[in-house]
Each structure stands twice: as C-alpha cells, then as structure tokens.
Chains A and B, each alone.
Chain A
Amino acid sequence: MTFPRILPVGDAALVVEFGDEIHPDIHRRVLALDHALAADPFPGLRETVPTYRSLLVYYDPRQLSWDEARRLVANALARSTDTPMPEPREVEIPVVYGGEFGPDIGFVAAHTGLSEEEVVRLHTSVTYTVYMLGFAPGFVYLGGLPEALATPRLPTPRPSVPAGSVGIAGLQTGIYGLSTPGGWRLIGRTPLTMLDLNRQPPTLLQPGDRVRFVRIG
C-alpha cells in the first residue's frame, strides 16, 4: 500500500489515508491537509473529520462528482506540504486524581506495578497531543502516554462515566466530554467544561493541541 491514498466513502465523502499506524508525523500530515482545506475551502466542501492517520472529507454530491472531489482534495494535498501550520496551542488540564473521581487508579497501579503516587507523577510528567475527538461528543483521544502506564480497558464498560473523567485504555489516555457509557480505566477528573454546546467551537480542545495534566485537590 502506498500513502497517501484517496478512497471514496459512499456518495458524499472520501477519505485521505496517510499511513497505517499511530505516529506523530502521520498525524501532522492529517492536520496539514485539514488546515489547507479550511484555509481555502472549495465549493461543495461540507466538513472534515481529522483522526489518527486519515482525514474524512464530506462533500455535496450535487455540486461535485467523486472524480472532481478527488481532484480538488489531491490539489489541496499537494498544497498542504508547504502551507505553514499555526503553532499548536498548549493547554493545561487540572485534574483531581484518585478517590471517587478516579476509581480505577488502584487497578492501574496494581496492573503497572507502580504506586498510585507514581501513576499520577508519570501521567503529569509528559506533554500529550490531541489526536482526535470522536466516538461520542467531545471525547478527546490523546497520544503520548508513558508506556509504563498502559492498562487494558474494563472487561465490561460502565453504564455511565461522568463528563470530565480522565481515563487510560491500552497506550491511550483520554477525557470524556459528556457523561456516556465507557470502558476506560478512570484515574481522575477535571472540573473544566470540556464540551459546551453554546460555545463555538463547542469543545475546549481541538485536534493538534498540546496538553499537560496538572494535579489539583
């Protein structure tokens, strides 16, 4: 397989795949194309969804055929390599770790062989990148979790996880935007409003943002 490749996604979307792995360089190329399309949108472009290694592009099939849409996106792709990207934002997320806000911190400690204190220290020791928002409204997927903290998901998801919960699933860490069912191991919670439907954009974090967790409480 050679990347990038542009594939049709039904009659109203296409996807540009940049690779087949989770890697910061691949993600940067996803964001570069997203940025190029936002900076100079073509008529008929509806919306884009950046994810780990691909960009989903919705277009209006009454204005553009698949061939036309593919050509316009290929042009933007060529342009995107030399479009300057804005500096990523740096955002601090305050988190109360453990206790009732992080009911799985004990499991994470036991699983990783660390103390709860070391789990917190490691989790707050690095800068993460927002890879994508998805699955549910405002859920933030972060890359860069120290490998020592990797812990599998719950065998059975909780019926309800409070908004703002910070969790670990495998090598990922993430933040719940809304109260939803969820299977990530919860280690803490932020008091920040991650999703506000009266705000534009509605989420506090955007793909590409750099995030540091800060312990409070």
Chain B
Amino acid sequence: MLEVLDGGWLTTIQDLGRPGYERYGIPVSGAMDFFALRVANGLVGNPPGAAGLEITLVGPVLAATAPCLVAVTGADLTFRVDGREMPMWMSVFVRRGSVISFGGRRRGCRAYLAVAGGIEVPPVLGSRSTYLPGRFGGWEGRALRAGDRLPIGPVSGHLPERAGRRFPPHRLPAYSDCPTVRAVPGPQDDHFPPEGLETFFGAEYRVSPTSDRMGYRLEGPPVARRRAEIISDGVPPGAVQVPPDGQPIVMMADHQTTGGYPKIAMVITADRPLLAQCVPGESRVRFAAVDVAEAQRRYRETMEMLERSWE
C-alpha cells in the first residue's frame, strides 16, 4: 500500500487509457506521456499498461506501508526517498516505512511513478485511468489527496534484487522546453488558405497557462481560415483544432470526442510525449509537417524500441 501524505499539485492514477468508447463520447484518457509510463512500468517488471501515478509539476508525498519497487520517469521533479535524491529512469527499492517525496521542478511537466504490481484500483470500462471532467476512474474519479491509501497488486520474486535496472538515456524522446513537434496536415487542411498552413508550420507558439489534460491552447500568430466551422465530427487525441480566433488547440488525453472546429493537423503519436512535457505558461512549441508514412514509421520505431528494451 502507498499512503498519500500530500497529494501534490495534481496527481492522478493513469494507465494507457480506455480505448473503444469514443462512440459513446468517452475519451481515451490515460497517461499524457505514454512513453514515460511504459518505461516506468518496464523498469519495475509490470506489463506496459499497468496503472501508475501521473504527477504534475509539484510532486506528492507517499509513505510505503510495505516494501516496494518503484521507478520514476518523465519530468524531473527531484525524486527523493527518505529525503535523499534518487535517480530517475531506474528501478529503486523502497523499504517499508520509507517516504517518497519530490523537491523542485527542474524540467518537464509530468513525472510518472510506477510500482511493481501496479496500482490496483477497480477498473472502469476496462481502465484505471482517472477522467477528471467525468469524475470517474482512478481513485474515486479525482486527484489524490492526503489520507488516500493506494492498494498495490501482487508481486513475485525478491524485490531488492530487481532494483538498479536503468533505461538507456540515448533512447529517450527529445524532451525540451521548446520542442519541434511533427504533425500530419489534415484532415481539414483544405479549410485553410496556404498562408494559414504557412503560419501554423512556421511560427512559434507559447503553451497557454489554461492548458490541461483536455487540451493545449497555443498562443501566437493567428492561423487564417477559409471557413469558420465544420459539421461536428470525431476528434482524436493529437488533433489540432483552429477556433475562430485562429489560436490553435491541441487535443490531449481527456479531449472531447467530437467538435466543430476545422482540424489543420494531427500531432504524430510518437511526438505526443514531447507535448505532454510542455509546461503551460512556459514552454514554446513549433510544428513540422510530415506525411502519414513518415508518422507511421516513427510510431513503429518507438514501439519496437520500447519492446526491445525489456528483452
């Protein structure tokens, strides 16, 4: 069991989400940075889709009521055990009674903590991911707070022996405060004049402070549009919608499933972790156009590399 002594700014239970329900208006949710959660799970020997903690900007304080094996990945929020800083991207043995905490934020937005056995809250529609706007999934559909006691699934083997496993740093995505994120134009790129596409793929945008797990609002040169609205249709995560003010919005994990703004581009799946680590109000982002074939190659490469890492 992990006992929450302090919930931090916004700590939620997330796995890889609940696909299959968008036709009912239910978004996929899940870890914003799927790469970091998968690696954290791999380091502690979990299946890739085990539930862990998504920790936003300011970390929680957690007491281990039993010995456990954890790994912290994603944003660097100064991961500590009993006050001593511990390496990230590595499995760490935590004794019974030890306290996991975090110090200042150094880089990135979201850290992931996986624990061997996974966090065993009851699944909702096949997933343990928290969907805050709907108040379901995860821990009572809300962010963690002091007093919550998180059950951990069964583990086998001798945990201390499994500590010290590392993920090679050269295999990490190109995390940055000002990343260039690749995107495939469309599906409504024909709703934009050439200068609208030039603006979007040429300009630098600031990630607005109002950005959250539903969407990243971008501030920068307005994107010119040909037509104001489309008839509402399906909106996948990664879609870049352009509302009437021309300031693009990138749909993230808790995105609304349908919408009526034209979609100028789709962020490629492999680069979504880069966006997930952008800090609202701080990070700047640029977009580079790629075609579908290139986007699919990057996705396959990323997934194959993640799988190879545990052989």
- Chain B residues 10 to 46 lying within 8 A of chain A, measured CB to CB, are 19-26
A residues near B266, Cβ cutoff 8 Å: 9-11, 13
- Taken residue by residue from 173 to 189, chain B's Cβ proximity to chain A (1 for < 8 Å, 0 otherwise) reads as 00000000001101100
A135 touches B256 (CB 8 A): yes
B184 touches A51 (CB 8 A): no
B20, B24, B231: residue with the most chain A Cβ atoms closer than 10 Å = B24
A11, A52, A54, A201: residue with the most chain B Cβ atoms closer than 10 Å = A11
Whether A49 contacts B257 in the complex (CB less than 8 A), given A11-B295, A15-B187, A137-B134, comes out as yes
A10 touches B295 (CB 8 A): yes
Whether A62 contacts B299 in the complex (CB less than 8 A), given A56-B234, A136-B133, comes out as yes
B125 touches A197 (CB 8 A): yes
Whether A134 contacts B231 in the complex (CB less than 8 A), given A49-B23, A61-B300, A197-B125, comes out as no
A62 touches B300 (CB 8 A): yes
From B257, which residue of chain A is reached at the shortest CB distance? A134
B residues near A135, Cβ cutoff 8 Å: 25, 232, 256-259
Whether A121 is near chain B, meaning CB under 8 Å from some CB there, is no
A8 touches B24 (CB 8 A): no
Quote the shortest CB–CB distance from B188 to chain A (angstroms): 8
A residues near B259, Cβ cutoff 8 Å: 135
Whether A187 is near chain B, meaning CB under 8 Å from some CB there, is no
Whether B172 is near chain A, meaning CB under 8 Å from some CB there, is no
Quote the shortest CB–CB distance from B164 to chain A (angstroms): 31
Separation of A46 and B236 alpha carbons in the complex (Å): 13
Separation of A134 and B19 alpha carbons in the complex (Å): 15
B258 touches A134 (CB 8 A): yes
Whether B233 is near chain A, meaning CB under 8 Å from some CB there, is yes
A132 touches B125 (CB 8 A): no
Chain B residues bordering chain A, tally (CB within 8 A): 43
A48 touches B23 (CB 8 A): yes
- Chain B residues 211 to 246 lying within 8 A of chain A, measured CB to CB, are 231-234, 236, 238-239
- Taken residue by residue from 42 to 63, chain A's Cβ proximity to chain B (1 for < 8 Å, 0 otherwise) reads as 0000111111111110100110
- Taken residue by residue from 79 to 90, chain A's Cβ proximity to chain B (1 for < 8 Å, 0 otherwise) reads as 000000000000
Whether B124 is near chain A, meaning CB under 8 Å from some CB there, is yes
- Taken residue by residue from 259 to 270, chain B's Cβ proximity to chain A (1 for < 8 Å, 0 otherwise) reads as 100010011111
Whether A180 is near chain B, meaning CB under 8 Å from some CB there, is yes
A10 touches B236 (CB 8 A): yes
Quote the shortest CB–CB distance from A110 to chain B (angstroms): 27
Identify which of B24, B133, B184 contacts A10 (C-beta below 8 A): B184
Identify which of A51, A61, A136, A139 contacts B299 (C-beta below 8 A): A61
Whether A66 contacts B296 in the complex (CB less than 8 A), given A9-B266, A134-B256, comes out as yes
Whether A22 is near chain B, meaning CB under 8 Å from some CB there, is yes
A132 touches B26 (CB 8 A): no
Identify which of B25, B124, B184 contacts A197 (C-beta below 8 A): B124
B125, B187, B293, B295: residue with the most chain A Cβ atoms closer than 10 Å = B187
From A26, which residue of chain B is reached at the shortest CB distance? B231
Whether B303 is near chain A, meaning CB under 8 Å from some CB there, is yes
A-B contact pairs, 16 of them (CB 8 A): A10-B236, A11-B269, A11-B298, A12-B236, A12-B269, A52-B232, A53-B231, A55-B234, A56-B234, A58-B236, A133-B24, A134-B232, A134-B258, A136-B134, A138-B24, A197-B124
